[in-house]
């Protein structure tokens, strides 16, 4: 029982990071129909900005997280303007895939030039371990869980209650319709990519003290995020959140009760099952 509770806690902490990364990916896909393979690179840059602030400038950890959000929102906006927008509205998905992959290699190469291949560590102010009902969890993991939930709640509020947020949703539902009712789709597109990059930055900066920061750290999680987005429904915000937790818990529990060597396999088995039974994903009605 203790093992089960321990793994449940571990799974929820991992799931909150998965969800944050998947949210950014699903937003860009929903609004711009771009499968952003460079999303993991933005997550990686978020972790590096936090690292640079904390290590080079001696800033407190939370200032590092804040700086990562701001910096990545700006980078996201620039990416939309420089890389995605010039392709225009007539580009095929293949064009976007090529641009996104190019961006991935560029950003990873850039990080390699600036910071080198070394594994970096970000110190968290919360290193103590809490024990509850025999379950051990570091305070930083608790922070990750609550901060992620707060960010997700904030995102929901933004999408449902603000004009900008609603125009993002409108554009995701129908791009031409949005144009017809007077929404500036270019501006909304730029805001969406900036928002997506900021979400990646939150995830990267939050997880940085728990993992190793290096130029290729985003690759494994990008793959997972794509599984989550397909699982939850391409472009679905609730789908990304639920999908993130489902995948993390499936991995952890499968690892515990079957074998950890199979946990990756099980993630993709779930994906195949969803695609076979409900190809549009769990949370999306029709394509």
Partner 1 sequence: MKTWRLILVALVAVVPALGITGCSEVDENTVAIGYVGPLTTAAGLYGRNVQRGLEMAVAEINEAGGIQVGERTLELQIQSLDDQYRPDETATGARRLLQQYRTPVIFVSHAGGIRALQGMNTRQPRFLIGGYSSEPTILEAENPLTLMLPPRYDAYAPPFVEIMRERFGPRLGLIPTTTVYGRQWTQVVTAEWERQGGEVLRNNGVDYNTTTDFTGVVSRALSENPDVLFIGGPSQPTGLVIQAAREQGFQGGFLMMDQAKFEEILDVVTMEQLEGAVGVHPQATYPAPGVPGLVERYYERFGSDARTIVSEMAINYQAVHLLAVAMQLAGSTDPDAIREHVDEAAQVLPEELQILDLTSVSSLGQLQRDVYAAQVRNGEFEPFFVPAATE
| Residues that bind partner 1 in the complex, under the rule CB under 8 A | 2-3, 6-7, 10-11, 13-14, 17, 108, 112, 116-119, 121, 129, 136, 138, 141, 207, 210-212, 214-216, 220-221, 251-252, 255-256, 259-261, 263-264
Altogether, the residues listed in the chain come to a count of 287
Contacts for 63 with CB less than 8 Å, ≥ 6 apart: 53
Contacts for 221 with CB less than 8 Å, ≥ 6 apart: 17, 18, 21, 40, 43
Spatial separation of the C-alpha atoms in residues 240 and 234, rounded to whole Å: 8
Nearer to partner 1, 103 or 170 (CB): 103
- Residue keyed to tokens 């088995």: 269
Looking at the DSSP bridge assignments, the partners of residue 136 are 131
Kindly state the smallest distance separating residue 98's Cβ from partner 1, in Å: 17
Kindly state the smallest distance separating residue 63's Cβ from partner 1, in Å: 23
Kindly state the smallest distance separating residue 6's Cβ from partner 1, in Å: 5
Nearer to partner 1, 66 or 255 (CB): 255
Q: How far is CA 165 from the centre of its chain?
A: 18
Cβ burial of 168 (10 Å; 0-12, 13-18, 19+) is buried
H or E element that contains 135 = strand 135-138
Nearer to partner 1, 78 or 253 (CB): 253
Spatial separation of the C-alpha atoms in residues 259 and 191, rounded to whole Å: 42
Kindly state the smallest distance separating residue 112's Cβ from partner 1, in Å: 7
Nearer to partner 1, 37 or 96 (CB): 37
Nearer to partner 1, 239 or 255 (CB): 255
H or E element that contains 137 = strand 135-138
Nearer to partner 1, 106 or 119 (CB): 119
Contacts for 134 with CB less than 8 Å, ≥ 6 apart: 2, 5, 6
Distances (CA, A) of 91 to 25, 95, 106, 151, 170: 19, 6, 21, 33, 21
Kindly state the smallest distance separating residue 136's Cβ from partner 1, in Å: 5
Nearer to partner 1, 74 or 212 (CB): 212
Kindly state the smallest distance separating residue 238's Cβ from partner 1, in Å: 23
Kindly state the smallest distance separating residue 232's Cβ from partner 1, in Å: 19
């Amino acid at each position: 029982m203790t093992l089960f509770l321990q793994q449940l806690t571990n799974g929820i902490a991992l799931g909150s990071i998965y969800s944050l990364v998947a949210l950014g990916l699903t937003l860009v896909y929903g609004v711009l129909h771009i499968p952003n393979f460079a999303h993991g690179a933005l997550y990686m840059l978020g972790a590096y900005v936090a690292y640079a602030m904390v290590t080079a400038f001696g800033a407190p950890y939370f200032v590092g997280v804040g700086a990562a959000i701001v910096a990545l929102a700006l980078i996201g906006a620039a990416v939309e303007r420089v890389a995605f927008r010039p392709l225009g509205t007539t580009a095929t998905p293949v064009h976007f895939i090529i641009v996104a992959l190019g961006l991935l290699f560029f950003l990873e190469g850039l990080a390699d030039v600036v910071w080198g291949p070394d594994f970096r560590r970000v110190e968290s102010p919360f290193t103590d371990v809490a024990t509850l009902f025999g379950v051990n969890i570091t305070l930083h993991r608790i922070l990750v869980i609550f901060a992620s939930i707060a960010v997700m709640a904030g995102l929901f509020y933004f999408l449902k209650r603000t004009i900008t947020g609603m125009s993002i949703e409108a554009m995701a539902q129908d791009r031409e319709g949005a144009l017809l009712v007077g929404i500036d789709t270019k501006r909304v597109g730029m805001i969406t990519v900036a928002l997506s990059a900021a979400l990646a930055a939150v995830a990267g900066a939050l997880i940085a003290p728990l993992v190793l920061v290096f130029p290729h750290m985003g690759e494994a999680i990008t793959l997972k995020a794509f599984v989550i987005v397909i699982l939850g429904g391409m472009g679905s915000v609730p789908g990304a959140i639920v999908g993130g937790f489902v995948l993390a818990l499936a991995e952890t529990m499968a690892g515990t009760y079957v074998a950890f060597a199979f946990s990756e396999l099980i993630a993709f088995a779930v994906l195949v099952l969803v695609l076979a039974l409900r190809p549009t994903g769990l949370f999306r009605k029709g394509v």
